[in-house]
Amino acid sequence: MNDIPANNTLSKGWLLLFSVWVLATISTLASLFFSEVVKLPVCSLCWYQRIAMYPLVVILPMALFPFDAKVTRYASVLVLFGWLTALFHVLLVAGYIPKSAQPCVQDIPCSETHLNVFGFLNMPMMSLLTFSLMALLLFFMTKSESS
C-alpha cells in the first residue's frame, strides 16, 4: 500500500518534466520555423535565449527514460538564464531600458520586433512566458519529488 503514493509521485514528476520538454521542443521548432522558413531576422538577445532553450530538448528526454528528477539542477540553470535574458529583452522592447544599453551590435536591433500577435504578444514576450511556465513546472516537479 505504501507503493501507491510513490508511483503517483513518480508519474506526476514524469508528466511535469515531459511537459517542460514539450514546451522546449515546440519553442525550438517555432524559433527555427520563424528564422529559417519565414526568414525573420534573429537578434543577439534572441540567440542567447535560443542557447538556453535548445539544450533542453536534448537534456530533458535523457532524464525521462529512466526518470531522473535530478535533471532539474541543470534545466533550472538554463531556464533561469533564458528567463533573465527574455525579461531584459521584453524591457528593452517596451522602452524601459535605454537603446544605448542594448547589446545588439549587429545589423539587427534588439529593440525592434517583427512579429506581433494580438497587437501585444511579440517574440520576446512569448519567450518570457514560455520560460516562466517552464520554471513553474520545474518548481512543481521539485516540490512533488521532495514530498
pLDDT given at position 106: 64
* CA–CA separation, 101 and 35 (whole Å): 25
* CA–CA separation, 30 and 96 (whole Å): 27
* Residue 88, CA atoms < 13 Å, CB-side half-sphere: 17
Into how many domains does the chain fold?
A: 1
In terms of residue numbers, what domain contains 141? 3-146
pLDDT given at position 4: 41
For the chain (147 residues), the mean pLDDT of every run of 10, in chain order, is 48 92 97 91 90 96 91 95 96 84 73 73 92 97 80
pLDDT given at position 2: 43
Q: String of b and e for 51-69 (b: at least 16 CB within 10 Å)?
A: ebbbebbeebeebeeeeeb
pLDDT given at position 1: 43
Cβ neighbour number for residue 147 with a 10 Å cutoff? 8
pLDDT given at position 8: 54
Largest CA distance in the chain: 63
